[in-house]
A and B are shown apart, each in its own frame.
Chain A
Amino acid sequence: MSRRSRPLKILEFFLKNIILYEDQENLAGDFEEMYERISGKNGKALALLWYSLQIIKLIPSYFKNYTYWSLAMIKNYLKIAFRNLTRQKGYSLINITGLAVGMACAIFILLWAQDELNYDGFHQNKDNIFRVATLFYEEGGTFHGAQTPAPVASFLKNNFPEIQKSTTVNFGWLTGNSRNIIKLGEKSFYTDDLILTDPSFFDIFSFPFLQGDKKTALENPNSVILTHSTAEKCFGSEDPMNKTIQVDGNPVTVTGVIADVPQNSHLRFDVVLPLIYVRNTNREFFLTKWDSYGFATYVTLQDGVAINEINQKIDDLIRKNDPNFGDTAAYIFLQSLSKIRLFNVDGSVGFMRYVYIFSTIALIILLIACVNYMNLSTARSGKRAKEISLRKVVGSKRANIIWQFFSESMLYACISFLISMLIVILLLPQFNELTGKQISFNSANPGLLFGLFVVALFTGIIAGSYPALYLSSFIPIEILNKSKSTGAKKSPLRKILVVFQFSLSIGLIICMTIVSAQVGYMRDAEIGFEKENVITLPISGKIENIVESFKNELKQNPDIVNVSLKSTSPLSPGGTSGTISWEGKNPDLKVNWSLPMVDHDYFKILNMKIVDGRDFSREIKSDLQEGFILNEEAVRQGNIQNPVGKQITVNSKNGIIIGVVKNAKLNSLRFAISPQAYHLSKTMGEQFQTLFIKIDSGEDDHPFNTITASLAHIERVWKKFMPDSPFEYRFLDEMLENQYRTEIRISRILNTFTFLAIFLSCLGLLGLTSFMAEQRTKEIGVRKVLGASITGIVILLSKEFAKWVLLANLIAWPLAYYFMSQWLQEFSYRIDIGIGTFIASAVIAFIIALLTVSFLSIKAALANPIESLRYE
């Protein structure tokens, strides 16, 4: 017999796999017979061709059949899943609640993170906008700044062809006032958000004009651009164009109205003046001054210019141009717009840290919810073991079972997803309040929709993975052989999952405690001055002549303890110095001190302690010109031995150090204290900007009444002396509190999510305990009949969980310690992480777990054994 020719093995394999199972054997045989015949008659090549053609022809029907049967099976899987869901309502409720809450958290944080990542994202050429940042070298390291001298912008544009456009922005101090008064007829109000800039500002940034022309709006020195809501505040529904308003008493004409600045812009303003607004004033010289770092500079680059390349060319620009380049050594470089919000100027992770932290927390919460699902599904597997075995016996492959359990977890994920969307939509206003954002649910955003899809899919897959693999591994003969179900046999992974879950919860409790402690510390820390009952009012420098009579008239009210003045806004340390030297100064030392001008009462009003030397005195006339009081930080940084009595020269003004004052931490404790030299007279054209008034409410039974009465008195005096300025006061302690807005907010968000994580963990523990108790009903019954006490049984049931929770601590402690010490690095003044926090967190977690478990174990222990043993 001649050798039979057979089709290629690989083709045969293909054929076999795409024919419907029931037709597999005979059809493959038929094809092979035909193949052989053709190969005998027409040659092997033609036979192969024919055979391949048959395969190709079969492909469409293969797909049709495959889809049909898959859908049929999925329909069956979902039907069974749905029956299980409704049969065990308690477990299903725990599962769905857990997953829905977890997903809602994840979606909230997704929305939040997206909002943060899109900061400044509304500018049309957002990828090509850069801020010019500065790098200072000084004693004690480097220091980064986000502001440059004013001439940098035009110098860059004129001397570097790589720079396409440039603009300078001043955030208001150039007007000489820390807050600016907008006045129209009888109406007047303060604005904190006034900027001065040049016309190219609106070429670089996309702030759309509602009225007026962006090219000409800032050409005239007396022009002003208002945002829509400011224009409305001034003019109501009238047309504001070409009308005149007063800014700090100077008439300016409205030449443009722009839309309100979006909430996610790092530039915030409501009034825009041209830089040339200050021409012919004593502050005009700042526009050409090379050593005053008080202007933000933004540039756009020509196409194809690499940022590193241009950075190298411009870095020593200030050094070359500053004729007085002395104590400070500044370099400049470009920082891209997209990094301004989330990264520090030096490129290190700034606010981005919180995006990372909260994304991680969202993931943790979602994982905890998934772990609950895994635990409950596998714990309940005893009830499913027979079903799985039977499916296997009638021909299911392992892959089919895996598919079954994935479609089941997907069903749960879908139901939970719908509920979580409901939660998100309902709670969005509360979430916005918590985070201080204005996030709206924009379903048209493709990135967001993709994110939501990923959240749902991720949950379904992670939650379903372990049950699918575990349950599909059952061996039918073992399960069907036994009369009793064994599915709930001890699974080590389940314990590991509970430990994992509690590690995460304990970790979060520790983080929450430390963050709250740090925030509390910053709010209550020893700040070196008294902040209570002090109100601050912005004043303009023009009052110098009337200041004494003004103060005296204020003090006529016996409740007004003291009045003082300062040359900076209330919490600012003040502008930094030009050149400073003193007796015995190391000539290589570079210093950068703040030079606030104050009056005689400043230290008294804030009750700042003079630690060495003496306070300014009205009796000693020379203090007015020569007296300098340093703070402790200036003495430390300058390494000045016995400072009192030493000669000091500040901006070529000679004086004597008469005292040293305790550090006053006016700034957020996030930042280190700055060295300061207080003085009474001008060293570089300062003006008084802030009025401090201390009100006594000490022994009064009704401090509120005293303060109200005093405020009425202050307002009367204010109106008399300063009829043009609105009376808008602020309490100093409130302003200090406001500096910690971000930290307080972060702490609150963390508290909320920690609470949710613990809630979810307990939910899972509750489900697991109730299952265990159910499994051991008979055992408990027998034990009770034989004389076990209720306490003994409660301990028996709780013992195991207690062990797991204790174990979880071992994992949580080092992780939490690591992350929290990283976070605390950000703060110049920070708390120590004590072991107490860890132990307290462990105890809290332990008690919560114990309460959860004992709730059910006591119920199980109290059950009458007759009930549980009756059916034997």
Chain B
Amino acid sequence: MKSLTRKEELIMLSILNLKNNAYLVAIVDHLSQATDKKVSLTSVHLPLNRLEKNGLIQSAFGEATAVRGGRRKKIYTITKPGFEALEEHKRISDLLWENYVKYSSSKD
């Protein structure tokens, strides 16, 4: 299985965090808050489509809100292969992070 990119990892984690309200704008907001950087719609939309095509996430139309001019949201959720991919990703990361020691200047 292809390993996840950093961006994909972040997006999938955001979807998990946002629970039942994971739609495009919410994910963008969530990521900008977490990273404290400006995140553009495009940079999220494309990986989202890719993930959906690969079957790691799925989408369904949510309820309409007045804020959106009465348009429905497309809510994303993680699929079973998605969870598996995330777990695999985490396993590798943890393994590699195990011996990490925090940088300290006194060490020199």
Q: Cβ of B41 and Cβ of A26 under 8 Å apart?
A: no
Of A27-35, A267-275, A441-449, A772-780, the one touching chain B: A27-35
Which residue of chain B has the shortest Cβ distance to A54 in the bound complex? B41
Encode contact with B along A805-846: 1 for CB under 8 Å, 0 otherwise. Answer: 000000000000000000000000000000000000000000
Q: Cβ of A29 and Cβ of B41 under 8 Å apart?
A: no
Q: Cβ of B71 and Cβ of A25 under 8 Å apart?
A: yes
Q: A26-B61, A57-B42 are in contact. Are A32 and B66 (CB under 8 A)?
A: no
A203 CB within 8 Å of chain B: no
Chain A contacts for B57, CB-based, 8 A = none
A743 CB within 8 Å of chain B: no
Chain A contacts for B74, CB-based, 8 A = 25-26
A4 to B72, CA, bound (A): 17
Chain A contacts for B42, CB-based, 8 A = 57
Q: A26-B73, A26-B74 are in contact. Are A33 and B68 (CB under 8 A)?
A: yes
A31 to B25, CA, bound (A): 8
Partner of B23, one of A26, A32, A54: A26
- Closest CB in chain A relative to B67 CB, distance in Å: 6
Q: Cβ of B66 and Cβ of A26 under 8 Å apart?
A: no
Which residue of chain A has the shortest Cβ distance to B74 in the bound complex? A26
Q: Cβ of B25 and Cβ of A34 under 8 Å apart?
A: yes
Which residue of chain A has the shortest Cβ distance to B72 in the bound complex? A25
A772 to B23, CA, bound (A): 60
A430 to B54, CA, bound (A): 66
A33 to B23, CA, bound (A): 11
Partner of A26, one of B28, B67, B72: B72
Q: A34-B25, A34-B41, A54-B41 are in contact. Are A29 and B69 (CB under 8 A)?
A: yes
Q: Cβ of A4 and Cβ of B67 under 8 Å apart?
A: yes
B31 CB within 8 Å of chain A: no
B12 CB within 8 Å of chain A: no
> Which A residues between 17 and 49 are near B, CB-CB below 8 angstroms?
25-34, 36
Q: A25-B72, A26-B23, A26-B73 are in contact. Are A31 and B41 (CB under 8 A)?
A: yes
B78 CB within 8 Å of chain A: no
Chain A contacts for B23, CB-based, 8 A = 26, 30
B24 CB within 8 Å of chain A: yes
A-B pair number, CB within 8 angstroms:
44
A54 to B42, CA, bound (A): 9
- Closest CB in chain B relative to A61 CB, distance in Å: 10
A6 CB within 8 Å of chain B: yes
> Which A residues between 35 and 74 are near B, CB-CB below 8 angstroms?
36, 54, 57
Chain A contacts for B25, CB-based, 8 A = 30, 33-34
A325 to B73, CA, bound (A): 100
Chain B contacts for A32, CB-based, 8 A = 67-69, 71
- Closest CB in chain A relative to B65 CB, distance in Å: 8
- Closest CB in chain A relative to B77 CB, distance in Å: 15
A26 to B48, CA, bound (A): 13
- Closest CB in chain B relative to A684 CB, distance in Å: 98
Q: Cβ of B72 and Cβ of A30 under 8 Å apart?
A: no
Chain A contacts for B67, CB-based, 8 A = 4, 32-33, 36
Encode contact with A along B55-81: 1 for CB under 8 Å, 0 otherwise. Answer: 000000100001111011110000000
A28 to B68, CA, bound (A): 8
Q: A25-B72, A26-B71, A28-B71 are in contact. Are A4 and B24 (CB under 8 A)?
A: no
Number of interface residues of B (CB under 8 A): 16
Number of interface residues of A (CB under 8 A): 16
Chain A contacts for B71, CB-based, 8 A = 25-26, 28-29, 32
Which residue of chain A has the shortest Cβ distance to B27 in the bound complex? A30
Listed residue (A4, A26, A27, A36) with the most chain B CB atoms within 10 angstroms of its CB: A26
Q: Cβ of A30 and Cβ of B69 under 8 Å apart?
A: no
Chain B contacts for A57, CB-based, 8 A = 42
Chain A contacts for B73, CB-based, 8 A = 26, 29-30
Q: Cβ of A6 and Cβ of B72 under 8 Å apart?
A: no
A26 to B22, CA, bound (A): 12
A764 to B28, CA, bound (A): 65
A368 to B45, CA, bound (A): 56
Q: Cβ of B68 and Cβ of A4 under 8 Å apart?
A: no
> Which A residues between 92 and 145 are near B, CB-CB below 8 angstroms?
none
Q: A34-B41, A57-B42 are in contact. Are A29 and B68 (CB under 8 A)?
A: yes
Q: A28-B71, A33-B25 are in contact. Are A4 and B41 (CB under 8 A)?
A: no
Chain B contacts for A29, CB-based, 8 A = 68-69, 71-73
Chain B contacts for A28, CB-based, 8 A = 69, 71
Which residue of chain B has the shortest Cβ distance to A22 in the bound complex? B74
- Closest CB in chain B relative to A190 CB, distance in Å: 87
A34 to B23, CA, bound (A): 12
Which residue of chain B has the shortest Cβ distance to A32 in the bound complex? B69
Q: Cβ of B24 and Cβ of A30 under 8 Å apart?
A: yes
Which residue of chain A has the shortest Cβ distance to B42 in the bound complex? A57
Chain A contacts for B24, CB-based, 8 A = 26-27, 30
- Closest CB in chain B relative to A730 CB, distance in Å: 88
A115 to B94, CA, bound (A): 85
Encode contact with A along B11-41: 1 for CB under 8 Å, 0 otherwise. Answer: 0000000000001110010000000000001
Listed residue (B28, B45, B66, B67) with the most chain A CB atoms within 10 angstroms of its CB: B67
Which residue of chain B has the shortest Cβ distance to A26 in the bound complex? B74
Chain B contacts for A33, CB-based, 8 A = 25, 67-68
- Closest CB in chain B relative to A494 CB, distance in Å: 48
- Closest CB in chain A relative to B80 CB, distance in Å: 24
A758 to B55, CA, bound (A): 65
- Closest CB in chain B relative to A335 CB, distance in Å: 70
Chain A contacts for B72, CB-based, 8 A = 25-26, 29
Chain A contacts for B28, CB-based, 8 A = 34
Q: Cβ of A4 and Cβ of B61 under 8 Å apart?
A: no
- Closest CB in chain B relative to A772 CB, distance in Å: 53
A34 to B71, CA, bound (A): 13
Which residue of chain B has the shortest Cβ distance to A30 in the bound complex? B24
Chain A contacts for B45, CB-based, 8 A = 27
- Closest CB in chain A relative to B41 CB, distance in Å: 6
- Closest CB in chain A relative to B32 CB, distance in Å: 11
Which residue of chain A has the shortest Cβ distance to B64 in the bound complex? A29
- Closest CB in chain A relative to B74 CB, distance in Å: 4
A28 to B24, CA, bound (A): 11
- Closest CB in chain B relative to A734 CB, distance in Å: 85
Which residue of chain B has the shortest Cβ distance to A37 in the bound complex? B25
Listed residue (B23, B28, B71) with the most chain A CB atoms within 10 angstroms of its CB: B71
A496 to B66, CA, bound (A): 57
Chain B contacts for A27, CB-based, 8 A = 24, 45
Listed residue (A6, A29, A32) with the most chain B CB atoms within 10 angstroms of its CB: A29
A31 to B71, CA, bound (A): 11
> Which A residues between 513 and 551 are near B, CB-CB below 8 angstroms?
none
- Closest CB in chain B relative to A13 CB, distance in Å: 12
Chain B contacts for A4, CB-based, 8 A = 66-67
A496 to B45, CA, bound (A): 57
Chain B contacts for A31, CB-based, 8 A = 41
> Which A residues between 454 and 489 are near B, CB-CB below 8 angstroms?
none
Chain B contacts for A12, CB-based, 8 A = 69
Which residue of chain A has the shortest Cβ distance to B75 in the bound complex? A26
A26 to B64, CA, bound (A): 10
> Which A residues between 336 and 383 are near B, CB-CB below 8 angstroms?
none
Chain A contacts for B41, CB-based, 8 A = 30-31, 34, 54
- Closest CB in chain B relative to A523 CB, distance in Å: 82
Listed residue (B28, B69, B74) with the most chain A CB atoms within 10 angstroms of its CB: B69
Encode contact with A along B76-89: 1 for CB under 8 Å, 0 otherwise. Answer: 00000000000000
Which residues of A are in contact with B by a Cβ distance under 8 Å? 4, 6, 12, 25-34, 36, 54, 57
What are the 4 tightest A-B residue pairs by CB atom distance, in nearest-first order? Answer: A29-B71, A26-B74, A29-B68, A30-B24
**Extra A-B contacts (9), CB below 8 Å, given A26-B24, A26-B74:** A25-B61, A27-B24, A29-B72, A30-B23, A30-B41, A30-B68, A33-B25, A33-B68, A34-B28
- What are 20 sample pairs from A and B whose C-beta atoms fall under 8 A apart? A4-B67, A6-B69, A25-B61, A25-B72, A26-B72, A26-B74, A27-B24, A27-B45, A29-B68, A29-B69, A29-B71, A30-B41, A31-B41, A32-B71, A33-B25, A33-B67, A33-B68, A36-B67, A54-B41, A57-B42
